[in-house]
């Protein structure tokens, strides 16, 4: 073991396997699987093919932003349902859209520093199950109602009930808004379009390409990381449902802006989709790899979390990826494949613009020179969240998993996975194929 | 100090606490399960008599066993009853001892956790209060009808008094067991509490006895004299749809007893005892008891080897594969099921979900079961499994090719089994480098209903693997029947001539519905024609063809024609019958000859094949043969099995009938040479 393989000052960390569910498009009502169901389905397909029993895991870490009210510490719920047994501890992490990558980082750190040998880490999200809530006024009313004992008291409380009390609060809309700067995620994307002068046709063209790439990946059977989902009604789900094979520039152009009505540019067509899905990675120390004879997919080289202006949260990847390249002494062209999560088409385009902007790199990052342009043919080569969806707590794990498969398929060496995070952050992870 | 302390008891442990409550623990010596043997009851009588001088503050009766309260009367003692008078004496003694509990002048509590069945429930009913644990393991019931009798220790009186006639008779007529919560709802127990509160609840009930519960007016109403005949009529009608009077007299006797005597409790105790004494000495009860012991024997067969499997892998997502997988999951196993077709796997999950919902009810348990079922297109589970069961289509080449492919991936100690229904193991084992590891596990359709599994071994099969297979079948709560590898094994081989005879009769112009009615009147659960339609005519044909290669069987043209025409039975909507909403449309038709003659013709074929199987030692002995045919085909249990029936009727007479039929219908009725041995054995024994 050479020192250069060490992760964050500790032991090297390997990823030995992974699996995800197909991503199911939310259709305006709760989907067939809850967040825990999704994680269990992908997890059991993954664990059943391992040479060790599920009880052998040292811990289970799961990212999730909106677990159901009956899924407190959803990681533990899932771990027990997976048959990992009572002795395997499990915990849930939340860094908004970075949750799925946060769990991988936590697992990697615990392995690097000798706390764990074998960890199941991933992310899950059932956005279609996001809660619909009563307003605070209604909750207060219900509280008073239950305290009122006599009939006159009840009538008195009832008299204060107003129609507005009954208006539901959509949890998902609140979750996708930044409470500090008062902008929805879509509005932060419009900010980026304005700042970098990115046009509607540019966004739509990017989105169209995302669909085209996913279609090709499906047709060529490249998405081997997917484990099918089975519901109890006799249905099987084998593919990501967000893909629109019939989409073209004209149909994208017809869509109305969702966030800055009526003059904005960010539409449902050039944004990521509201989706349900789960993804897992299996992380191991050198000792665990040897003990169980595991096949190594790749090694985690470096990881970075960065804070940015919340109103321009979409630029997070630039701030997370840059320090990694600096630390590792790498240039843009040293990275074979890039996975930058497509929260919005314009947001990825803005990251690419900032990446190669001398002005941006100097003023925002303090670097004397910009980075070289990221080759679009090495970025999100099998499509991204615009086409297959963005189950928020899951996507971070999904892009790392897919990157590993990409490196494997192309016998390439280095891959960078990165994502923007609502609230103004960025996360990035550098991985290398094989044992590095 | 109580007088009790000086006496030592074998089965009961009385302990008086500082508050004066006597905790009476039944911990039957020499047995893992509490049953009310004569000795246990007499000891109880002694204990209760000793209370007479200085009654304690209260008495709590509880079990010292972890598996349950009391499983019932000691059925082994039933077999020793030789006369009506003896039976009556035994029953009345039991009644009088339980009445001693009822007559104690202090509060009495039955503290129930686990099973509380039959005589155990009757004992609990004699207590003033019953407190049950709310665990799913707690089961209360009166299953006596399943043994051809009804409650006899005052249960018919006390249960009716406690619940009103509708609920009480329902429990006694169906024999079903209910859990603690349901028992609380019905009023059968006073409280259903978590295990941890049982002692507190019993103590509090003795110290502050509440008014004992009685049924409301509405529950009592159907038992009033004017309404009693109406309810009795209704109950007789619903019983008749399930069990015929001439085959199963017990439920009818129970309804009679209640209708005639429930107005006068003192007489009802006596009449209850008389009724049970009559039933218990009848051939139905004796045969049902025999079936019970056969079942116990098969259960014991499944308890041998020290094999604790956890992971099961099924190959083949058809109906059988899927249903075996679902059943194993239901019994707590983790199961992977392999099929190349995602759609078939999806149907497996769907059907399994239906079974889990029906059996488990609680959504949490259903979810846990679904979590244990893993659709596995790529066969990832093969290398992990303790048990691998192949359930693909009946094609020896395909099966052999599969074994070659999977053998290198199997764990060395894994059990490899095939669910083939007719192909001899020797033909399949050739494909393996270790042919001795292959065992047959032949399940019956529908898996969730049919208790029997034939465990098939060939001459070269590794005995250790057979032992594992038996243990596995026991672990999934099915009854393992060890059979020799020969075409059709035991059950299909015996059943097929009976089915083919029915087809031959139908070809002669006897209406299918008449044939089926004849078999049902004989006591079969379903007529042979309807059974063939239900199994699938294509499957019947395929089994017939395979068996025809080994035995002198003629495959009827009619069967081939129907299959060729796509009339495959219930599943295709048409077979011998037409189906509407999965139900057969039965045309009315009369047979020229009486039904008993039709039944005789069918049954003789079955008996003749049974004799052949016994002679060839397809199973080790006649008991196992009877057990296999009863639990594998539903063969009229009140006859005690085909060989037992044969012995009852007399082998010589039956052999004569066979010869008569052979004259009329030809060689398929030629008596097997095994008859001679049976006749000789009968004479030798006489």
Q: B345 and A230 in contact by Cβ < 8 A?
A: yes
Contact B371 A44 (CB under 8 A): yes
Of how many residues is chain A composed?
436
Please give the span between the terminal C-alpha atoms of chain B, in angstroms, as a whole number: 60
Is the preceding omega at residue A262 within 30 degrees of 0, hence cis? Answer: yes
Contact of B283 with B644, CB cutoff 8 Å: no
CB-facing half-sphere around the CA of A162: CA atoms within 13 A = 6
Instruction: Assess whether A390 carries a catalytic annotation.
Output: yes
Backbone φ, ψ for residue A258 (5° rounding): -95, -35
Strand A118-126 to A59-63 pairing: parallel
Distances (CA, A) of B436 to A132, B284, B304: 61, 43, 20
In a shared domain, residues A145 and A122: no
- Give a yes or no: residue A358 inside a domain: yes
pLDDT score of B64: 97
The strands making up B139-141's β-sheet, listed across from edge to edge, are B68-70, B115-117, B139-141, B177-178
Residues A187 and A320 in one domain: yes
C-alpha torsion A95→A97→A100→A105, nearest 10: -50
What pLDDT sits at residue A243? Answer: 97
In angstroms, the Cα distances linking B165 to B179, B226, B254, B265, B672 are 20, 14, 12, 14, 52
pLDDT at A436: 58
Q: Which residue of A has its CA nearest to B355?
A: A232
Of B476, B396, B390, B395, the residue nearest B440 (C-alpha): B390
Pairing assessment for the beta strands A298-307 and A24-25 based on DSSP bridges: unpaired
**How far does A234 lie from chain B, in Å, by closest CA?**
5
Q: What is the pLDDT of residue B305?
A: 77
Q: Quote the distance between the C-alpha of residue B325 and its chain's center.
A: 21
A192 and A323 fall within a common domain? yes
pLDDT band for position B73 (50/70/90)? very high
Contact A283, A401 (CB under 8 A): no
Q: Do B372 and A238 touch (CB under 8 A)?
A: no
Give the closest of B334, B346, B383 to A236, CB-based.
B346
- Go through B155-174 and write b for each residue having 16 or more CB atoms within 10 A of its CB, e for each that does not: bbbbbbbbbbbbbbbebbbb
Half-sphere exposure at residue B304, Cβ-oriented, CA atoms within 13 angstroms: 17
Cβ–Cβ under 8 Å, residues B293 and B287:
no
Nearest to B147 by CA among B297, B292, B33, B298: B292
Q: CA–CA separation, A7 vs A27, rounded Å? A: 41
User: CB contacts < 8 Å between A and B, how many?
Assistant: 47
Based on C-alpha coordinates, what's the Rg of chain B? 28
ipTM of this complex prediction, to 2 decimal places: 0.94
**CB–CB of A51 and B383 under 8 A?**
yes
Active-site choice (A64, A84, A106, A420): A420
d(CA B346, CA A238): 11
Determine the Cα–Cα distance for residues A282 and A221; give it in Å rounded to an integer.
23
- Mean pLDDT over B22-35 rounds to 96
State both tokens at B480.
């393992």
Q: Which residues of B touch A (CB under 8 A)?
A: 334, 336, 342-343, 345-347, 349-350, 353, 367-368, 370-372, 374-378, 380-381, 383-384
- Say whether both A158 and A41 belong to one domain: no
- B588 has a pLDDT exceeding 80: no
Query: If interface means Cβ-Cβ distance under 8 Å, which residues of chain A face chain B?
Result: 40, 44-45, 48-49, 51, 81-83, 228, 230-236, 238
* B110 vs A165: CA distance, rounded Å: 53
Q: B372 and A83: CB-CB below 8 Å?
A: yes
A58 lies in a domain? yes
| pLDDT tens readout for residues B623-634 | 999 999 999 999
A263 found inside a domain: no
Q: Do B349 and A234 touch (CB under 8 A)?
A: yes
Task: Please answer yes or no on whether B349 and A232 come within 8 Å at the CB atom.
Answer: yes
Element holding B453 (H helix, E strand) = strand B452-457
Q: A166 and A58, same structural domain?
A: no
Query: Residue for token digits 């006024």?
Result: A137
Chain A hits for B349, Cβ within 8 Å: 230-232, 234
d(CA A232, nearest CA chain B) in Å: 5
pLDDT tens digits for B358-400? 999 899 999 999 999 999 999 999 999 999 999 999 889 999 9
Interchain proximity B380–A51, CB inside 8 Å: no
d(CA B425, CA B428): 5
Sorted by sequence, the CB contacts under 8 Å of residue B189 that are 6+ apart come out as: B112, B130, B131, B132, B140, B180, B183
Confidence at residue B686, expressed as pLDDT on a 0 to 100 scale:
42
Chosen domain end from A237, A257, A292: A292
* Count of domains forming chain A: 3
Mark whether A64 and A161 lie in a shared domain: no
pLDDT at residue A1 in the model: 42
Any idea which residues of B carry the catalytic annotation? 122, 144
Domains and CATH numbers, chain B: 3-281 (3.90.226.10), 306-485 (3.40.50.720), 492-617+650-685 (1.10.1040.50)
Confidence (pLDDT) at B438: 97
Dihedral sign, Cα of residue B340, residue B345, residue B347, residue B352: positive
- Across B68-81, average pLDDT: 94
**Reported confidence tier of residue B587, pLDDT bands at 50, 70, 90:** confident
Do A236 and B378 make contact, defined as CB atoms within 8 angstroms? no
Nearest Cα residue to B59 out of B8, B122, B102:
B102
Range B647-651, long-range pairs (CB < 8 A, 24+ positions): B647/B678, B647/B682, B648/B283, B650/B682, B651/B675, B651/B678, B651/B679, B651/B682
| pLDDT value for A4 | 63
Instruction: Identify whether the C-beta of residue B632 lies closer than 8 Å to the C-beta of residue B452.
Output: yes
Q: Do residue A425 and residue A397 come from a single domain?
A: yes
Which chain A residues are Cβ-neighbours of B385 within 8 angstroms?
A: none
Minimal CA separation from B331 to chain A, in Å: 15
Q: Please state, in angstroms and as integers, the Cα–Cα distance from residue B85 to each residue in B91, B273, B632, following that order.
A: 10, 11, 37
Would A379 be classed as within a structural domain?
Answer: yes
Say yes or no: A36 and A145 in one domain.
no
Contact B342 A232 (CB under 8 A): no
**Contact predicate B436/B460, CB 8 Å:** yes
The vertex-B173 CA angle with B169 and B174, nearest 5°, equals: 120
Shortest CB distance from B350 goes to which of A40, A82, A232?
A: A232
Identify whether residues A70 and A166 lie together within a single domain. no
Select from A349, A315, A329, A344 the least CA-distant residue to A428: A315
Which chain B residue has the Cα nearest residue A77? B368
Residues A151, A127, single domain; the answer is no
pLDDT at B4: 46
Residue A97 domain-assigned (yes or no): yes
For B87-128, list the strands marked E by DSSP.
Answer: 108-112, 115-117
**B interface mutation test: which of A47, A49, A235, A293 has the most B CBs within 10 A?**
A49
Min Cα–Cα distance to chain B from A412, Å: 27
Q: For residue B595, count other CB atoms closer than 10 A to its CB.
A: 17
Alpha-carbon gap: B571 to the closest alpha carbon of chain A (Å): 18
pLDDT at B303 over 90: no
**Partners of residue A236 in chain B, C-beta under 8 Å:** 342-343, 345-346
Tokens 């303790």 found at? B386
pLDDT in tens, B630-675: 999 999 999 999 999 999 999 999 999 999 999 999 999 999 999 9
Of B9, B36, B35, nearest in space to B24 by CA:
B9
Q: Which two tokens stand for residue B470?
A: 């038996």
List the domain range (segments joined by +) for residue A30: 3-131+274-292
CATH number at residue A70: 3.40.47.10
Domain's final residue, options A247, A263, A292 = A292
Compute the nearest-CA separation of B319 from chain A (Å).
14
Q: Are A81 and B370 inside 8 Å of each other by CB?
A: no
| Residue contact B347–A234, C-beta within 8 A | yes
Q: How confident is the model at residue B1 (pLDDT cuts 50, 70, 90)?
A: very low
- Report angle CA A239, A127, A50 to the nearest 5 degrees: 55
Query: Cβ contact (<8 Å) for A232 and B370?
Result: yes
Same-domain pairing of A68 and A202: no
CB B373 within 8 A of CB B346: no
Among the partner residues B342, B374, B380, nearest to A238 by beta-carbon distance = B342
The pTM of the whole model exceeds 0.90? yes
- Residue B222, min C-alpha distance to chain A (Å): 41
Q: Which of A319, A390, A402, A405 is catalytic?
A: A390
Mean pLDDT of successive 10-residue stretches along chain A, which has 436 residues: 74 98 95 97 97 97 96 97 98 97 98 98 96 91 93 92 90 90 96 97 98 98 97 96 97 96 96 97 98 97 98 97 97 98 98 97 95 97 98 98 98 98 97 85
Q: Cβ contact (<8 Å) for B371 and A83?
A: yes
On whether both A351 and A418 belong to a single domain, the answer is yes
Rounded CA separation B37/B39 (Å):
5
Residue A45: its chain B contacts at CB < 8 A?
Answer: 374, 376, 380
Average pLDDT of the segment spanning B70-75: 95
- The DSSP H or E segment spanning B350 is helix B342-360
Q: Is residue A258 part of a domain?
A: no
- Give the pLDDT confidence score for residue A3 in this predicted structure: 52
Q: Closest chain A residue to B313 measured between Cα atoms?
A: A48
Burial (CB count <10 Å: 0-12, 13-18, 19+), residue B350? middle
Q: Phi, psi at residue A283, to the nearest 5°?
A: -110, 145
- Quote the CA–CA distance of A406 and A252 in Å, as a whole number: 29
Q: Give domain status of residue A266, yes or no.
A: no
Find the closest chain A residue to B365 by CA distance: A81
**Integer Cα distance of A140 and A135 in angstroms:** 9
């Amino acid at each position: 073991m050479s020192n250069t393989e060490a992760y964050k000052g500790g032991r090297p960390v390997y990823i030995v396997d992974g699996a995800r569910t197909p991503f199911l498009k939310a259709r305006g009502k709760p989907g067939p699987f809850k967040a825990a169901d999704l994680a269990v389905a992908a997890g059991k397909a993954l664990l059943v093919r391992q040479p060790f029993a599920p009880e052998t895991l040292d811990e289970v870490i799961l990212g999730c932003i909106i677990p159901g009210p009956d899924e407190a510490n959803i990681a533990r719920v899932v771990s027990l349902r997976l048959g990992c047994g009572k002795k395997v501890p499990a915990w849930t992490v939340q860094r908004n859209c970075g949750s799925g990558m946060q769990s991988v980082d936590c697992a990697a750190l615990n392995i690097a520093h000798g706390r764990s040998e074998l960890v199941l880490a991933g992310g899950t999200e059932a956005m279609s199950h996001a809660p619909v809530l009563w307003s605070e006024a209604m909750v207060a009313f219900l509280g008073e109602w239950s305290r009122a004992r006599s009939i006159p008291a009840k009538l008195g409380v009832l008299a204060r009930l107003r129609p507005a009390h009954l208006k539901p609060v959509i949890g998902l809309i609140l979750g996708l808004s930044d409470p500090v700067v008062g902008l929805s995620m879509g509005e932060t994307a419009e900010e980026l379009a304005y700042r970098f002068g990115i046009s509607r046709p540019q966004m739509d063209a990017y989105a169209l390409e995302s669909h085209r790439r996913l279609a090709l990946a499906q047709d060529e059977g490249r998405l081997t990381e997917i484990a099918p989902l089975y519901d109890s009604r006799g249905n099987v789900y084998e593919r990501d449902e967000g893909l629109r094979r019939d989409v073209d520039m004209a149909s994208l152009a017809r869509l109305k802006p969702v966030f800055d009505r009526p003059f904005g540019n960010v539409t449902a067509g050039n944004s990521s989709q509201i989706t349900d899905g789960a993804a897992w990675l299996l992380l191991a120390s050198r000792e665990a790899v040897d003990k169980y004879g595991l096949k190594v997919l790749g090694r985690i080289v470096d990881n970075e979390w960065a804070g940015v202006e919340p109103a321009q949260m979409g630029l997070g990847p630039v701030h997370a990826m840059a320090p990694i390249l600096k630390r590792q002494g790498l240039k843009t062209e040293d990275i074979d494949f890039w996975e930058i999560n497509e929260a919005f088409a314009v947001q990825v385009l803005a990251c690419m613009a900032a990446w190669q902007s001398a002005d941006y790199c100097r003023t925002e990052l303090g670097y004397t020179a910009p980075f070289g342009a990221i080759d679009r043919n090495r970025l999100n080569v099998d499509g991204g969240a615009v086409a297959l969806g963005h189950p928020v707590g899951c996507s971070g794990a999904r892009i790392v998993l897919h990157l590993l498969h990409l490196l494997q398929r192309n016998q390439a060496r280095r891959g960078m996975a990165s994502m923007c995070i609502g609230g103004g952050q960025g996360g990035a992870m550098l991985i290398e194929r094989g044992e590095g | 100090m109580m007088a009790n302390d000086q006496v030592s008891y074998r089965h009961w442990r009385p302990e008086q606490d500082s508050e004066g409550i006597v905790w009476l623990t039944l911990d039957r010596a020499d047995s893992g399960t509490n049953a009310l043997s004569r000795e246990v009851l007499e000891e109880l009588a002694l204990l209760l008599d000793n209370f007479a001088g200085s009654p304690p503050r209260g008495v709590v009766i509880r079990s010292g066993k972890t598996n349950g309260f009391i499983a019932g009367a000691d059925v082994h003692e039933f077999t020793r009853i030789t006369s009506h008078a003896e039976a009556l004496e035994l029953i009345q003694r039991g009644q009088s001892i339980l009445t001693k509990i009822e007559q104690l002048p202090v509060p009495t509590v039955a503290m129930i956790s686990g099973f509380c069945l039959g005589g155990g429930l009757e004992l609990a009913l004699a207590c003033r209060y019953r407190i049950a644990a709310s665990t799913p393991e707690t089961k209360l019931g009166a299953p006596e009808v399943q043994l051809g009798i009804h409650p006899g220790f005052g249960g018919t009186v006390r249960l009716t008094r406690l619940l009103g006639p509708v609920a009480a008779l329902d429990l006694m007529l169906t024999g079903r067991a209910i859990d603690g919560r349901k028992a609380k709802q019905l009023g059968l127990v006073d409280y259903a509490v978590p295990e941890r509160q049982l002692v507190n609840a019993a103590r509090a009930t003795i110290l502050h006895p509440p008014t004992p519960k009685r049924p409301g007016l509405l529950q009592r109403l159907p038992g009033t004299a004017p309404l009693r005949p109406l309810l009795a009529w209704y109950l007789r009608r619903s019983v008749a749809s399930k069990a015929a009077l001439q085959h199963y007299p017990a439920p009818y006797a129970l309804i009679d007893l209640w209708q005639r005597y429930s107005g006068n409790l003192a007489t009802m105790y006596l009449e209850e005892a008389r009724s049970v004494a009559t039933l218990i000495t009848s051939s139905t009860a004796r045969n049902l008891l025999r079936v019970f012991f056969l079942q116990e024997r098969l259960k014991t067969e499944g308890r041998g080897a020290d094999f604790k499997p956890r992971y099961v892998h099924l190959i083949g997502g058809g109906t059988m594969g899927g249903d075996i997988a679902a059943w194993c999951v239901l019994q707590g196993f983790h199961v992977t099921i392999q099929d190349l077709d995602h759609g078939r796997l999806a149907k497996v999950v769907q059907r399994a979900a239906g079974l889990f919902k029906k059996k488990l009810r609680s959504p949490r348990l259903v979810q846990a079961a679904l979590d244990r079922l893993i659709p596995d297109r790529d066969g990832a589970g093969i290398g992990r499994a303790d048990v691998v069961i192949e359930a693909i289509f009946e094609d020896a080449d395909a099966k052999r090719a599969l074994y070659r492919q999977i053998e290198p991936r199997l764990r060395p100690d894994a059990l490899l089994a095939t669910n083939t229904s007719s192909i001899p193991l020797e033909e399949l084992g050739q494909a393996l480098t270790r042919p001795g590891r292959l065992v047959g596990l032949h399940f019956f359709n529908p898996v969730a209903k049919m208790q029997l599994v034939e465990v098939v071994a060939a001459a070269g099969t590794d005995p250790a693997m057979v032992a594992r297979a038996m243990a596995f079948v026991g672990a999934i709560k099915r009854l393992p029947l060890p059979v020799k590898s020969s075409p059709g094994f035991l059950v299909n081989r015996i059943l097929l001539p009976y089915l083919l005879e029915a087809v031959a009769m139908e070809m002669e112009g006897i209406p299918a519905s008449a044939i089926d009615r004849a078999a049902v009147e004989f006591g079969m659960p379903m007529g042979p024609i309807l059974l063939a339609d239900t199994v699938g005519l294509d499957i019947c044909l395929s089994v017939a063809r395979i068996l025809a290669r080994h035995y002198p069987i003629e495959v009827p043209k009619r069967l081939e024609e129907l299959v060729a025409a796509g009339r495959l039975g219930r599943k295709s909507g048409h077979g011998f019958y037409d189906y509407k909403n999965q139900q057969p449309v039965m045309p009315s038709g009369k047979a020229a000859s009486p039904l008993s003659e039709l039944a005789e013709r069918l049954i003789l074929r079955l008996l003749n094949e049974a004799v052949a199987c016994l002679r060839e030692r397809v199973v080790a002995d006649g008991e196992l043969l009877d057990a296999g045919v009863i639990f594998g085909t539903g063969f009229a249990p009140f006859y005690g099995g085909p060989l037992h029936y044969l012995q009852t009727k007399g082998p010589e007479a039956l052999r004569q009938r066979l010869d008569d039929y052979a004259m009329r219908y030809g060689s398929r009725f030629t008596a097997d040479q095994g008859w001679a041995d049976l006749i000789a054995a009968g004479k030798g024994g006489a």
